[in-house]
Amino acid sequence: MSQQPSAEESRAILDKWSRVRSEIEPRLDAIVSKLEMAGVEGLASYIVKGGKMFRGFMTVLFAEAVGGDPKKAEDAAIAIELVQGASLALDDIVDKDAQRRGGPSAWILYGIGKSAMVSLLLVPTALKLVERYGPLALSYSISAWESIVRGEIMDAYSALSIKPAEYLTLASLKTGSLFSLAAALGVIAGGHEDLAEGAWNYGNSVGTAYQVADDITDFANYLRGAKQKLDPSEKLFVEWARSELNARDDTEIVWQGIRYLHDLVEKSTKVLGFLPPSQASKMIAVIPTFIISKMLESAGLSFDEGAVNLKA
């Protein structure tokens, strides 16, 4: 069973996350402000605003963990947030989601065409920032974007026809890829290209767990009546839990899903041997449990492998 972070560890993560966000957010705003064009005023800024910047935080943290200068990882962190914003804005268009980050989705306010075009503009803007870190960083970035798009295509147009056993592949492509990139760019920015593969694998495990946790919370909220319908990928999660985890009813789908999350978290922490001992490395080791616990708590669930209460 995964070890829950202590209250002190949780406070340390939140404090450092807040500091990193306060550092990169103004620079992110400055970069997107340069993308202003007639007819799409304010759109790029709207797409990237309001994010938690957790993936960018991971990038800076990995650079620090390998002994690098966190400041030198900020461009990589900003690139991650640009790609994240573009991905979410395009996802909202495809899924016709009207809400994002507590407000109307970009396409609701600005229209589908403008939102799609500006989202696409954010990706090469991100790649230009990554270019300073060298060919390997660019290669990882291109691979990640390709995987994200493949995952989105599977999610939007194939989720109802693919086999339940492919659910984890979908989660890895759609969500794990950007977590992989966040970690890999961090160690590259920290001067350790030799550790990029290990960081990529860690990020993919964490990102896949993040997506599973997201689907569990959405399913739990659906059962309570707080969510009107399940998206295709969430339906695929339910079928996967029934066929691969042998869940017999709705409560077991949630419970077995949480049990599987523990396996994913343990898998992610086991590959961290490539990091040198440091405070940042210790923080990275507990981040998966920290973030997943917070996600489950938002739906009234616990990461502890105990009873599951799905009453409204």
Domains of the chain, CATH where assigned: 7-297 (1.10.600.10)
pLDDT for residue 308: 60
pLDDT for residue 118: 97
Q: Which parts of the chain register pLDDT below 50?
A: none
Which residue bears the tokens 């009546």? 225
Reported pTM: 0.94
pLDDT for residue 38: 80
How many angstroms separate the Cα of 108 from the Cα of each of 61, 89, 92?
35, 10, 9
pLDDT for residue 312: 54
Residue 193: both structure tokens together:
């290209």
Q: What are phi and psi of 103, to 5 degrees?
A: -150, -175
pLDDT for residue 66: 98
If one counts every other C-beta atom within 10 angstroms of the C-beta of residue 96, the result is 10
Q: What Rg do the C-alpha atoms of the chain give, in angstroms?
A: 19
pLDDT for residue 95: 87
Which residue bears the tokens 């922490």? 269
pLDDT for residue 305: 58
Residue 254: both structure tokens together:
């949630």
Angle in degrees, CA 155, 86, 269, rounded to 5: 70
pLDDT for residue 4: 76
Secondary element (H or E) of residue 103 = strand 103-104
